[in-house]
Amino acid sequence: MPTLPTVEVGGTDRRPSPGLGVRPDALLLDFGGVIFQTTKRPEGYGELAAHLSEVLGRAGHRRSPESLEPVLRGGVKALKDWKNASSRRLAPLELDHRTIWHDFLASPLPPAEREVLAGSAGTLLARLTATLSEHSVRPGIPELLATATELGVTVGIVSNAHSGRAHRTLLAAHGLDEAFGVQVYSDEVGLRKPHPGIITMAARALGTTPGRTWYVGDTLDRDVVAGRRAGVGAVILTRHHSDVPPYPVTDTADAVLDTPEGIGDLLRASVPVAPTSTLDAAGATGAETRTPSARPAVPAPAGRPSALLLDHGGVVVTSVPDDAARLAFGRHLSQRLAVAGYTLSPEEAVEAVAGARVRHRAWKDRHEGAPAAGTPADPAAGFVEDVEEIDATTFWVELVGPALAHLGDGIEDWLRAEAYALILEYARSKSLPTLRPGVRDVLEAARAGGVPVAIVSNTVCGRAVREELEAFGIDHLVGVHVYSDELGHRKPDPVTARTALTALDADPRSAWFVGDKPHRDVLAARGAGVGTVVLVRGGSSSDATLDAADGALRPDHVIAEVGDLLTLWAPAVPAAPARHGR
């Protein structure tokens, strides 16, 4: 066996542990402190506070940046305390994005303002990550990735993150994203180091076991402990900001390096052995419960609407299938799988996703038609509560996964780890959207008349909807975003509309809801006590369906185009100035 390089281990100079002598099947890297080094930006708090002030202003809440900055600083400090405490737990779960804003970053704010920020929690956390710190690639990382490729060692990421989205964006910006077979972020998979399951998931996703991997981190209380609990072949620590843990830790690393520069030498000095074929079992789930609030009374007072709630698909935009985009996504999925060691042609990828779309429609039918105990079984006879939304993980693991099971036992873990990144690309590829005529005029009239606006939509990826609104140049006219995949509940559950009304601090009796589906939009709006419900033709429902809607499904108005709202509103809301050339 070749002589191993001498590195610092456990505070003294000696030969590395025997685990470093066996070449791993996969090298798992932490993100911050290993791939990237971070430098705090003190001025970032002021910049972020200014942005949050603007976001709240769009929803009609006046809050100065000066008043928000101490709220942010306190929230970040509280979140750090929570993270330190979580590192003491045996199997910690990660916070979801909405909870981070509700319970930590925005907890001192009034309920309506908290709900506005929680409605864009993922987007705001990505911005927070990019604003409060600067990131630069640590010395030796490009060389390490090249060495791993040369030696046939697959590389993955295992990181605690409140915004895996931000991390993926950073990797892509530095041209590093294609080097990793899998990226596992705590906010996307729900597990948080030192939970050993997050490392086991990454190992399985790459077709191996924790014992056949090396894990590289920068903290004792999270990384070293997680590695030891998972039973990895070796744990390597690279110094960054975390030399001193928040409490005593008895576990030690196999090697401690100042930078990642020496890891490539350790890989070269290791000896390959026959690959293993047995995968370890792992997994943990957490459930969140919700108690529905009481429905307010429906009678609607006359006068200016207190809020305008709009569905997205069929109302704000109409869409047509985009076969070219679907094929491009198939190629993207095929390429991503290839990096992780799985072979699937683009055509097979397209077929697998198409099958999942069919199963997804059946899933929606089952869940919308199965209200909770004590509520009517027939949605036309009353309101439906507790209608859950599918999440990205369920979509990819349970709906797509069966079609890819032949690729190997680790494919389920790969899909679980990559689900949130894949769902965004999938949502982008589903169809080609077109902004409906009159939408911009209605939004501008609402802004001119002081009527706050919310988008309330069933979605597989709310982030993709936000991208569409921004691309059409209307995002600044929307104050609140309520997307089912982020909320965890879908229309006809009235919690969707209630959440928007709470965020806008609006009286439901004088609010308006505009949708295109009686069985979802009308039921959700009526169940939340919305006073005026409008359906628009030309969306997802046929004219015959709209005209036949009766009982609990009957709207107050049916209009041909969204712009016809301006006629219904007059003179309560002033029309927007005439615009030409759009």
pLDDT tops 70 at residue 299: no
Full DSSP string of 30-69: -TBTTTEEEEE-TTHHHHHHHHHHHHHHHTT----HHHHH
Q: Report the pLDDT value the prediction gives residue 291, as an integer from 0 to 100.
A: 33
Given pLDDT bands bounded at 50, 70 and 90, which one contains residue 100? very high
Strands (E), 242-322: 255-257, 308-310, 317-321
Over residues 399-407, mean pLDDT: 97
Burial class (CB in 10 A: 0-12, 13-18, 19+), 465: buried
Does residue 295 contact residue 492 with C-beta atoms inside 8 Å? no
Extract the tokens encoding 179: 């080097």
Phi, psi of 533 (to 5 degrees): -120, 130
Extract the tokens encoding 372: 């909770």
Q: Report the pLDDT value the prediction gives residue 365, as an integer from 0 to 100.
A: 86
Residue spans of the domains in the chain: they are 7-35+138-269, 40-133, 308-319+433-569, 323-432
Q: Report the pLDDT value the prediction gives residue 9, as an integer from 0 to 100.
A: 37
Over residues 133-143, mean pLDDT: 96
- Report H helices in 120-249: 121-132, 141-151, 164-173, 186-189, 197-205, 225-230
List, in order, residues 6 or more apart from 299 with CB less than 8 Å away. Answer: 509, 531
Alpha-carbon gap, residue 283 to 281, rounded angstroms: 7
Does residue 80 contact residue 96 with C-beta atoms inside 8 Å? no
Task: Give, in order, the Cα–Cα distances in Å from 86 to each of 30, 162, 169.
Answer: 17, 14, 26
Over residues 95-118, mean pLDDT: 97
Q: Report the pLDDT value the prediction gives residue 575, as an integer from 0 to 100.
A: 60
Percent residues over pLDDT 90 in the chain? 83
Alpha-carbon gap, residue 229 to 203, rounded angstroms: 14
Q: What is the pLDDT of residues 149-205, one digit of tens each?
A: 999 999 999 999 999 999 999 999 999 999 999 999 999 999 999 999 999 999 999
Task: Tell me which H or E stretch contains 504.
Answer: helix 495-504
Q: Report the pLDDT value the prediction gives residue 297, as an integer from 0 to 100.
A: 38
Is the pLDDT higher at 439 or at 378?
439
- pLDDT, the chain, mean: 89
Over residues 223-251, mean pLDDT: 91
Alpha-carbon gap, residue 525 to 554, rounded angstroms: 11
Length reported for the chain: 582
Q: What is the pLDDT of residues 444-486, one digit of tens each?
A: 999 999 999 999 999 999 999 999 999 999 999 999 999 999 9
Given pLDDT bands bounded at 50, 70 and 90, which one contains residue 504? very high
Extract the tokens encoding 514: 């505009």
Going by C-alpha positions, the residue among 433, 432, 460 that lies closest to residue 357 is 460
Extract the tokens encoding 9: 């281990």
Alpha-carbon gap, residue 330 to 352, rounded angstroms: 9
Over residues 64-74, mean pLDDT: 98
Percent residues over pLDDT 70 in the chain? 87
Going by C-alpha positions, the residue among 200, 241, 201 that lies closest to residue 221 is 241
Given pLDDT bands bounded at 50, 70 and 90, which one contains residue 18? low
Same topology between domain 7-35+138-269 and domain 308-319+433-569? yes
Phi, psi of 9 (to 5 degrees): -135, 120
**Cis amide prior to 577 (ω within 30 degrees):** no
- Report H helices in 155-298: 164-173, 186-189, 197-205, 225-230, 263-269
Alpha-carbon gap, residue 442 to 114, rounded angstroms: 26
Does residue 267 contact residue 153 with C-beta atoms inside 8 Å? yes
Given pLDDT bands bounded at 50, 70 and 90, which one contains residue 17? low
Q: What is the pLDDT of residues 20-67, one digit of tens each?
A: 999 999 999 999 999 999 999 999 999 999 999 999 999 999 999 999
- The CATH classification number of 7-35+138-269 equals 3.40.50.1000
Over residues 347-372, mean pLDDT: 86
Is the pLDDT higher at 578 or at 560?
560
Phi, psi of 518 (to 5 degrees): -60, -45
- Please count the other Cβ atoms lying within 10 Å of the Cβ belonging to residue 76: 16
pLDDT tops 90 at residue 282: no
Residue whose structure tokens are 């809440």: 61
Task: Give, in order, the Cα–Cα distances in Å from 569 to each of 449, 498, 534, 566.
Answer: 10, 22, 12, 5
Alpha-carbon gap, residue 266 to 6, rounded angstroms: 9
Q: What is the pLDDT of residues 408-455, one digit of tens each?
A: 999 999 999 999 999 999 999 989 999 999 999 999 999 999 999 999
Q: Helix (H, G, I), strand (E, B), or coil: what is residue 233?
A: coil
Q: Report the pLDDT value the prediction gives residue 243, as an integer from 0 to 100.
A: 66
- The CATH classification number of 308-319+433-569 equals 3.40.50.1000
